[in-house]
Amino acid sequence: MTGDRGPGKVHLVGTGPGTPDLLTVRAAKLLRNADVALYDSLVSPEILALLPETARKIHVGKRRSRHTLPQDDINHLMIELARKGARVLRLKGGDPFLFGRGGEEAEALAAAGVPFEVVPGITAAVGVAASARIPLTHRALAQSCTFVTGNLRDGTMNLDWPLLARARQTVAVYMGLMGLPVLCAKLIEHGRSPDTPAAIVQQGTTPQERIVIGSVATLPAMAEAAGLRAPTLILIGEVVALRDALSPDADGHVDTVS
């Protein structure tokens, strides 16, 4: 791993929303030349297949409360591998600096004096919305877009509900499948119309993509009936209604992209 290349380096690489086609050129180049890859659960097998056969692959992913490695251990592992001279890729779904703990890991690397680079990726909200043909903003319907995480803690969500309930905006919710009933109930409680269009997309941009379209009032029951599973992205706002016009072959409820 060391050879004559001098000290190692860590690259915090965003791998985008799923499909390898949406990798940046920079990310694809780094994948082909890595010594070690520490990858999250949302990094697809197709992207991992781009790594050299000689590269060491270490799964450090997190799914809800199940963590392969605690965050402090991940930080320590990156630092130790780089100090041994390795070209280390820390592969993350979406973008490292948007709900990806990239900021925490960059802090740890900087404090340890380890050289690092952040390679941005297409974040899930942008990639999934484009794949589902739902604009995040629209001059007539949504003049802002808010990204939030929907993880439940003790059965509740600690979000700025008055802000999220405002009209003429799009709300993109990461990791919100389990908390979808709470999310929608809280939005209605704080003044968002129950008829506000809403969508949930499973495995967006991949061949397994499934889309459920409803309203804030109906989406939780529709998602449960469809049997959706993580990873998902939730989109709430008037822009969701545009999908019918932009997707003439869609049935407006559930469709699987083949």
Kindly list the catalytic residues. 40, 62
Q: Are 65 and 53 in contact (CB under 8 A)?
A: no
How far apart CA 99 and CA 93 sit, in angstroms, is 10
How far apart CA 103 and CA 98 sit, in angstroms, is 9
- Is it true that the peptide bond before 231 is cis, omega within 30 degrees of 0? yes
* Residue 90 DSSP SS3: strand
How far apart CA 30 and CA 9 sit, in angstroms, is 11
What amino acid is encoded at 27 in this protein? A
